[in-house]
Structure 1
């Protein structure tokens, strides 16, 4: 385990973020630490309050720990290409494995709201400590824990969970403790039933085998000799990223969470702690591209239908930057003052007030996703086109206004270059969708506005003296989002202004040839943050599509070395220590990995399963309707 600096509490109570594994059932997720402790588990849904939250407060958050009594070393892995997690403990006296999983909710053979923990011994004898301390409503509700015929029942404020345990236990207040001794060949099961399913029969071994089969059947696969778009030394990391994205997908709605956690810090001890258990519409375009090229068309369609329904339910001006996974719009941000935060990082926030911000880039992201679906064969209904047309018309009205931007700065609205370019993209993709789908609309007006936006960005968003695009009008700050300009088709990759911008970002935002910071300059918040994994992927993309393929591949392979041994990545990386920062695992980071592998594959001559991805449609000029 990595050595942690003192943060005002016991450092060993907080494992490094990157040492956690994650399991889930397509409704919620649990984080399992290297010490056999489940330290994060919202229920019944990902955005619900928690049963365990020790990752945010080691003393008050609650946990469910199965770990050897003696000192141990740990190895961890997912079973093949599944989301079944194995933690192997080695002591001087023996070896034992804890297997954690939840059956996906669309498997009807077994109760869907059960967290399974299997303990098996393969060598010698291993004594286990068992600790079960559920906390309800982020530790704010007083729990009652008592023995019942079926096991141990914990309840508070009408919520209840049942732990089926094979051992005798001692209950002290709201905490259960016990011990378990296993010899080679022995196994034991702990079943945490998280709903009123006490009378449901369960065959744990059958549930395990069916869960393995579900994930193995679902994931991306290709045989030797197949033309795979993701061929390369990173192929297995792409498959794991796909499995992460599926794990963050809500089965009922199709929405994809940005991460399964809340308030993991971007700076240890700092205040940049946010709740990411929601879906950001800004992720739409590149998410759809990743899912479609991975061959997961059903998931791409479900996600597409979900956000199109959101657009239908609200006028364009009322569309929010983010929503709950069931489409909830009220994401009121609150602080949990009774939690100390991960390693003393406070405040601990739940909810996210960014839902109330103006972020004009979301309209471009939505149109990118629609265009991507159409290029893969999706025919729009008249109703869908009407929604899209209304969005493009709205963009014509608001593109000149300032906004909070993609990074959700809290220092006031500005004229962000990225937001302007995404408004341009909304108009550009609207024209393309209308042109190729033979849809009606005021296309001449859209084209005229598109050219006005482009001219405005080139005049006010480009610094001719420094030969680079800047973050916002009337500022010197750089922003990694400028790496997306050629990917979006705003300018070609060989344009001197694009190459100058890439060079400026390499000089000012890149550290150790791997890590890319989001931006420089003030963002209205104190403290620092790590490098943003997605921005590092954007640089890989820009280099690969600029013809610097060897450079791009080297940077990508170096970045992948910071994946944890399970293939998981947080939002950010500390360039000095290599530690993961921010919420974890992060969907955007894994989307970046998938798309960078796709672009590198394309640059190396691999065939894509559908039309060329964004950024390599260089032979397709922007739709021009003439005068």
Structure 2
């Protein structure tokens, strides 16, 4: 095993077409083309034994310090590198995004501007992309102001006013004036590079600040929520509206665990929580595109059957393979491309896609509201929810070697039927409303019969994680959020007590502690901690929820973000980054816990 020094102190940049991760030393160590699930031409993050490959780095001679920050209310990153002799440079990273010629300009491009800010800095540029998942170096050609990189089926062109010979040779040289770099489409750069990139920088800055200006933020934790909101938007592939679970693949959930998954896809199980967060923010542009993506999934569903995840283009086939030339994060392979979970049976998907899509029947802000034709298609999904509510599945935790009737899946199937009743009433269809009401009641009765563990002399009763077993999992906390139970229901109080006793580890929550396909879990799952915070707040345990929320915020990276998992002893982050689940956890809990704006008026 190799240790490249990699960690999750990463700073995402992007434009809703491409995204990149900048590390603590201003290295672009992760970036895929032509979109988030494409070939990682910058892959040093997962190249533990060759961290000098698949990277774009500016190395300051004699460097002793580095500091980083985003420009306020933007994903524009500024990294300051300082040398022992007092010289310093600032590197500005962004992916252009702004309206031009009546449409959004968001090219497959990374823009970097180097500005000398003290002394006479000496810099070396290491620009070493790879292709074919780290297996090959590109062929290059160059002219007086550009370098062309042939990256398998793709090609990119670096346009720059820096000395091309120095860039190609990796030679250290004095930086005496601002230098501009545009790595983008393989076409001649039109116009004055310096002027055009500075204009792009200003227009991109203006776009993001105006976008943030339109958000509905809570009174408290505004900076935290804004950063998560910007990053959540970066996780959207704007062309289709899909929102990916994370921007990376194969960051292990725990050291050496082999729990390395590709999260650059759209999980249906995320959709309810994501839409909830977008509603809290009032981010209608992201919301409408996402609802459009989900409607396309429903339209394409054969007989109403929904699978757990899809590509950002809506493709159903996501064949999983190993990238043998990438040794993995800190050398902890394997690096997986694709995700075999698309083949799994996960019945919670039916509720997960119905719950967010029903909003379009009620929300009059939307440009395109849903109609009776949409309801007819959605009823096919509801029919599958009814048929599958008491059938075994892999569950939302995606067990690969066993199936049971999972309580969470059954509750989500109940929610699908319950919400279809609401839509039928909205559309003035009393017969269909009664139909779905009866089905929801039948599913509820089955859950109460088969998932409830009765009281004994030694313990109070509780809901269990599956109909067949008496183990617990953190998804039971969502019975309140999904409105299956009310906050004052004693059955939920006893269930949350049981879940906390079994799964809480100080400030953190495990998903479950039962051994799975890869052994017992070794880290806490961050969204489960946010679920606990949500449940505590809804039950009136407000102060306890606030304290736990503040503790979770304290574990964020310097970029203000969280990954999927956390070592509940050391607090170290693990799992893919930044995790959409964790982003929406911050947004939703902040909105729930914050003081009201009226308190300062």
1:352-387 deviation per Cα after TM superposition (whole angstroms, max 9, x unaligned): 111111111111112211233444336421211111
Contact 1:16 1:579 in 2 (8 A): no
* Matched position secondary structure for 2:17: coil
Q: Which residue of 2 aligns with 1:79?
A: 71
Q: Which residue of 2 aligns with 1:189?
A: 180
Which residue, out of 481, 494, 500, partners 2:475?
481
Contact 2:360 2:370 in 1 (8 A): no
| 1:118 pairs with 2:113 | yes
- Pair 393,82 (structure 1): closer, same or farther in 2 beyond 3 Å: same
Which residue, out of 489, 503, 506, partners 1:495?
489
Structure 2: where are the runs of 5+ without partners?
none
User: Whole-Å Cα distance in 2 between the matches of residues 78 and 386 of structure 1?
Assistant: 46
| Match runs of 1:134-283 below 5 Å | 134-168=129-163, 176-183=169-176, 186-193=177-184, 195-201=185-191, 202=193, 203-220=196-213, 230-232=218-220, 234-283=221-270
User: Whole-Å Cα distance in 2 between the matches of residues 419 and 176 of structure 1?
Assistant: 57
User: Whole-Å Cα distance in 2 between the matches of residues 180 and 427 of structure 1?
Assistant: 67
User: Whole-Å Cα distance in 2 between the matches of residues 425 and 589 of structure 1?
Assistant: 23
1:186-240 deviation per Cα after TM superposition (whole angstroms, max 9, x unaligned): 32112212x2222433411101001101110111457xxxxx66121x1211111
| 1:599 pairs with 2:592 | yes
Contact 2:93 2:110 in 1 (8 A): yes
* Matched position secondary structure for 1:178: coil
Structure 1: where are the runs of 5+ without partners?
1-7, 223-227, 608-627
Q: Which residue of 1 aligns with 2:444?
A: 454
| 1:100 pairs with 2:93 | yes
| 1:400 pairs with 2:400 | no
Contact 1:146 1:171 in 2 (8 A): no
User: Whole-Å Cα distance in 1 between the matches of residues 72 and 579 of structure 2?
Assistant: 21
1:447, CA displacement in angstroms? 2.3
User: Whole-Å Cα distance in 2 between the matches of residues 510 and 50 of structure 1?
Assistant: 37
1:286-308 deviation per Cα after TM superposition (whole angstroms, max 9, x unaligned): 21121122111122111111111
1:171, CA displacement in angstroms? 8.7
* Matched position secondary structure for 1:528: coil
1:116-153 deviation per Cα after TM superposition (whole angstroms, max 9, x unaligned): 11111222232222101110121234421233233222
- Pair 106,515 (structure 1): closer, same or farther in 2 beyond 3 Å: farther
1:157, CA displacement in angstroms? 3.0
Contact 2:304 2:383 in 1 (8 A): no
Q: Which residue of 1 aligns with 2:570?
A: 577
* Matched position secondary structure for 2:218: coil
User: Whole-Å Cα distance in 2 between the matches of residues 180 and 391 of structure 1?
Assistant: 62
TM-score (norm 2): 0.92
* Matched position secondary structure for 1:242: helix
TM-score (norm 1): 0.89
How large is the Cα RMSD of the aligned pairs?
2.1
Contact 1:540 1:553 in 2 (8 A): yes
More divergent stretch after superposition (251-260 vs 105-114)? 105-114
1:594-617 deviation per Cα after TM superposition (whole angstroms, max 9, x unaligned): 11112223xx5568xxxxxxxxxx
Q: Which residue of 2 aligns with 1:90?
A: 82
1:534, CA displacement in angstroms? 0.9
| Match runs of 1:23-38 below 5 Å | 23-38=13-28
1:385-416 deviation per Cα after TM superposition (whole angstroms, max 9, x unaligned): 11111111222222121111111111222111
| 1:586 pairs with 2:579 | yes
Which residue, out of 20, 37, 41, partners 1:51?
41
Q: Which residue of 1 aligns with 2:302?
A: 315
| Match runs of 1:373-522 below 5 Å | 373-377=360-364, 379-439=369-429, 442-464=432-454, 465=456, 466=459, 467-512=461-506, 514-522=507-515
Q: Which residue of 1 aligns with 2:126?
A: 131
Contact 2:504 2:510 in 1 (8 A): yes
Q: Which residue of 1 aligns with 2:342?
A: 355
- Pair 441,274 (structure 1): closer, same or farther in 2 beyond 3 Å: farther
- Pair 248,327 (structure 1): closer, same or farther in 2 beyond 3 Å: same
Contact 1:51 1:135 in 2 (8 A): yes
More divergent stretch after superposition (425-434 vs 53-62)? 53-62
User: Whole-Å Cα distance in 1 between the matches of residues 392 and 331 of structure 2?
Assistant: 35
Q: Which residue of 2 aligns with 1:561?
A: 554
Q: Which residue of 1 aligns with 2:12?
A: 22
1:14, CA displacement in angstroms? 3.2
Contact 1:515 1:533 in 2 (8 A): yes
Q: Which residue of 2 aligns with 1:63?
A: 55
Contact 2:350 2:384 in 1 (8 A): no
Contact 2:421 2:432 in 1 (8 A): no
Contact 1:262 1:277 in 2 (8 A): yes
Contact 1:77 1:85 in 2 (8 A): yes
User: Whole-Å Cα distance in 1 between the matches of residues 120 and 462 of structure 2?
Assistant: 64
